[in-house]
């Protein structure tokens, strides 16, 4: 039998999509990324992976699986977020809460134990039950997990972990995949819930390519504008529950604090009677949220009008400006348009379309929209207003959250019967002569009409 070659086998792994090739090529045929291939050593799966081998499990009847309430659910959860957004802070605070019930292992590959302690002290956490481990070697981390059997384990961050079985640098696709797969094995095999912190790449993917999202049980993102105090925690994948729920937090000196009534906070500093300011009842997860949309429209000083959008999709705003121009005769072609969602939130739901359109129209005409009216509805390209989902959840928020918004404009089919007069649903998009011009931010004058019937033209 010929002697086995000792030269390590290598492959070129795309750092963007994780596919591997035997030869280097400039462009990855799978994802189209240029210059994304890096040579990495390929290792055959190690028999009897490092750490103590565990005895094989026996199949059990489904009805004999212990109920979740009493046992730790062995999950592997990935928490992603921009640099400095507060991932470590959130997990340190979660560790502190859980440490009241058992040992928590906090593995930090990024910060020294002293740095982690400084943060914990700032948060007022004494942390007698929190074990700190400053380690980046995966085998040592797994060994520590198996030895300490924690109630909860945090790996901060997965990009810093490396396995000596893989030759490439920590943070590379092969390392990420291998480390996550090994930690999954530990989570499921040893019944330890593990939270992984993952950095978001400039493309917005957590922990590099999306390879990790398939391996883990749940993916959470902590979002927010860097210079605002508010952070929203949302789930994009959850094998054990809904992805609808969100958490709203405020970052402060003593860490993240839950915001009980976000609407109140978001509307706190609202200046009423200013053109371009509109309140929109949006839904974040299952939670209704009143937010202020601000628009500012100024004449263009250069040839090309600017569109600057904060907190919303710029493409959607461009579309709404086009609809306003064509269907409502409100052209902003010679104006710069700035749209801002107050509070550093990011909202993607199309139900905010009408609010944005009214804010822009109000700014364009330099006339304030009714400060006691909230606007919601999706705008179609024909200028028609489409129904919005879950209107019933939004209406109590509009009525009671701040007691500031007492009326609303919504498309007819979204309308739910309302117990009081404060919440008015429309038979047409804008039912009364009072609402109609105000929706376009232009009271007292006859609105420009392109087409009759419900929809934007009616405004």
Ligand X SMILES: Nc1ncnc2c1ncn2[C@@H]1O[C@H](COP(=O)(O)OP(=O)(O)OP(=O)(O)O)[C@@H](O)[C@H]1O
The binding site for Mg ion (CB under 5 A) comprises: 88
CB of 207 to Mg ion, least distance (A): 13
Nearer to ligand X, 199 or 438 (CB): 199
Residue 404 structure tokens: 């500031």
CB of 343 to ligand X, least distance (A): 15
DSSP state of 448: P
Which residues, 6 or more positions from 28, have their beta carbon under 8 angstroms from its beta carbon?
14, 16, 17, 19, 21, 34, 36, 37
CB of 171 to Mg ion, least distance (A): 14
Choose from ligand X, Mg ion, none: what does 273 bind? Cβ within 5-8 Å by kind: none
Nearer to ligand X, 222 or 279 (CB): 222
CB of 85 to ligand X, least distance (A): 4
CB of 88 to Mg ion, least distance (A): 3
Nearer to ligand X, 199 or 442 (CB): 199
Choose from Mg ion, ligand X, none: what does 86 bind? Cβ within 5-8 Å by kind: ligand X
- Which parts of 60-128 fold into alpha helices (H)? 87-98, 113-122
Choose from Mg ion, ligand X, none: what does 89 bind? Cβ within 5-8 Å by kind: ligand X
CB of 21 to ligand X, least distance (A): 32
Query: Chain centroid to CA 308: how far?
Result: 21
Nearer to ligand X, 208 or 276 (CB): 208
State residue 315 phi and psi, 5-degree precision: -65, -40
Nearer to Mg ion, 194 or 323 (CB): 194
User: Which positions touch ligand X (CB under 6 A)?
Assistant: 81, 83-89, 110, 199, 251-253
Q: Which residue is nearest to Mg ion (CB)?
A: 88
C-alpha pair distances (Å), 240 with each of 77, 81, 236 = 11, 21, 12
Asked if residues 200 and 80 have their Cβ atoms less than 8 Å apart, the reply is yes
Q: Following CA atoms 180, 181, 182, 187 in sequence, which dihedral angle do they give, to the nearest 10 degrees?
A: 80
- Torsion sign over Cα 22, 24, 26, 31: positive
Choose from Mg ion, ligand X, none: what does 252 bind? Cβ within 5-8 Å by kind: ligand X
Nearer to ligand X, 81 or 208 (CB): 81
Choose from Mg ion, ligand X, none: what does 85 bind? Cβ within 5-8 Å by kind: ligand X
Choose from ligand X, Mg ion, none: what does 245 bind? Cβ within 5-8 Å by kind: none
**Mode of pairing for the β-strands spanning 20-21 and 76-81:** unpaired
Q: What share of the chain is helix, strand, coil (3-state, %, to 5)?
A: 25, 25, 50
């Amino acid at each position: 039998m010929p002697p086995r070659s000792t030269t390590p086998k290598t492959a070129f792994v795309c750092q963007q999509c994780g596919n591997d090739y035997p030869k280097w090529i400039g462009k990855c045929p799978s994802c189209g990324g240029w210059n994304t291939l890096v040579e990495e050593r390929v290792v055959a799966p190690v028999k009897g992976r490092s750490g103590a081998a565990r005895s094989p499990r026996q199949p059990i009847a489904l009805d004999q699986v212990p109920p979740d309430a009493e046992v730790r659910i062995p999950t592997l959860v990935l928490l992603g977020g921009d640099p400095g957004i507060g991932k470590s802070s959130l997990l340190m605070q979660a560790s502190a809460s859980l440490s009241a019930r058992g040992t928590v292992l906090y593995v930090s590959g990024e910060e020294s134990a002293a740095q982690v302690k400084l943060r914990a002290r700032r948060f007022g956490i004494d942390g007698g039950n929190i074990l700190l481990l400053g380690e980046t070697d995966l085998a040592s981390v797994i060994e520590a997990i198996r030895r300490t059997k924690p109630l909860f384990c945090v790996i901060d961050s997965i990009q810093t972990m490396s396995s000596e079985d893989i030759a490439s640098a920590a943070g590379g696709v092969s390392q990420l995949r291998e480390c996550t797969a090994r930690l999954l094995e530990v989570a499921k095999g040893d019944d330890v819930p593990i939270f992984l912190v993952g950095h978001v790449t400039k493309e917005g993917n957590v922990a590099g390519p999306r390879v990790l999202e398939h391996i883990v049980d749940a993916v959470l993102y902590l979002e927010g504008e860097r210079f605002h105090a508010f952070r929203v925690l949302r789930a994009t994948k959850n094998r054990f529950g809904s992805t609808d729920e969100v958490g709203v937090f405020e970052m402060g000196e003593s860490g993240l604090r839950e915001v009980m009534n976000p609407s109140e906070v978001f509307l706190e500093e609202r200046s009423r009677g200013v053109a371009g300011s509109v309140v929109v009842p949006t839904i974040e997860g299952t939670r209704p949220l009143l937010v202020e949309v601000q628009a500012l429209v100024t004449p263009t000083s250069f040839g090309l009008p600017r569109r600057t959008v904060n907190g919303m999709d710029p493409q959607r705003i461009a579309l709404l400006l086009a609809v306003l121009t064509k269907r409502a005769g409100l052209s902003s072609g010679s104006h710069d348009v700035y749209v801002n969602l107050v509070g550093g939130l990011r909202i993607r739901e199309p139900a905010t379309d009408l609010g944005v359109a009214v804010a822009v129209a109000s700014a364009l005409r330099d006339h304030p929209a009714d400060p006691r009216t909230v606007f919601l509805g999706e705008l179609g390209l024909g200028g028609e207003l489409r129904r919005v989902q879950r209107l019933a959840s939004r209406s109590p928020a509009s009525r009671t959250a701040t007691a500031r918004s007492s009326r609303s404009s919504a498309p007819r089919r979204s309308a739910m019967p309302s117990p009081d007069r404060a919440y008015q649903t429309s038979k047409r998009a804008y039912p009364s002569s009072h609402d109609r011009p105000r929706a376009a931010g232009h009271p007292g004058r006859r609105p420009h009409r392109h087409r009759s019937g419900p929809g934007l033209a009616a405004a």
